[in-house]
Amino acid sequence: MRIADIPLENRPRERFLRQGASVLSEAELLAVILQKGTKEENVIDMSNRLIAKYGIDKLSDLSLVELQEIKGIGPAKAMQIKAVFEFNKRYSLPSKAGKPITCAKDVYEYACGRILDKNKEQFMILHLDSKNRVIKDEIVSIGTLNASLIHPREVFKSAIKESVNSIILVHNHPSGDPSPSSEDEAITRRLVDAGKLLDITVLDHVIVGDEKWWSWKDQ
């Protein structure tokens, strides 16, 4: 069925104009974003197929290349999909800023929006003020985590310059399993000891996985 064959009052854009975005389903919202389907499939059917197969979460994680491997998705549509998820991610970040970090879950939620490429291991430092609010975050390493890459000098350089009260170490595991390796534990001990010498408290080391996390402090 073509969009033109759908009664006017049932088309997503017309319903959007008449009743607002909240009445639209996820597939209809995606259809409004994509605007057009293909000769074989209208944009609503395409959107339903994408969400049914991948779900919103997995769809948001697909790369531009992976999106273009989906039937009916070319470069333009792939960029539209990536752009809307990126916009949403950036919009959600300010709401988390300024709130005190009280537990590992807070760290996980904060870091998830800032570790953009989950296929690469990234080591991030959160700088906290005296009320445990994040005043700055910094990625100091991308790639396989080992002691030679994570040097105390690089970790604490910016923290010393900013005169921060404490820091939290964060890194992700692309495998999705946040369980720490022996190398993770060794690095944590080394940085905790370095922080004591510099009078900068390392509050925690949180490893981010797939919808779960591991906390040095909790353990």
Query: Residue 166: what pLDDT?
Result: 94
- What tokens does 128 get? 């906290």
- In the chain, what are the domain boundaries? 3-93, 97-215
**pLDDT value at residue 147:** 45
Given this model, what pLDDT does residue 148 score? Answer: 43
Distance CA 167, CA 214 (A): 17
DSSP string computed for 115-169: ---TTS-EEEEEEE-TTSBEEEEEEEEESS--TTTS-HHHHHHHHHHHT-SEEEE
Question: pLDDT value at position 91?
Answer: 62
Instruction: Tell me which DSSP letter residue 99 carries.
Output: S
Mean pLDDT, 10 residues at a time, the chain of 219 residues: 74 87 86 87 88 82 87 90 80 61 91 77 91 88 63 88 91 91 91 94 94 91
Pick 3-93's CATH classification: 1.10.1760, 2.60.40, 3.30.450, 1.10.150.
1.10.150
> pTM value?
0.59
Q: Which two tokens stand for residue 100?
A: 């005190």
Domain 97-215 = CATH 3.40.640.10? no
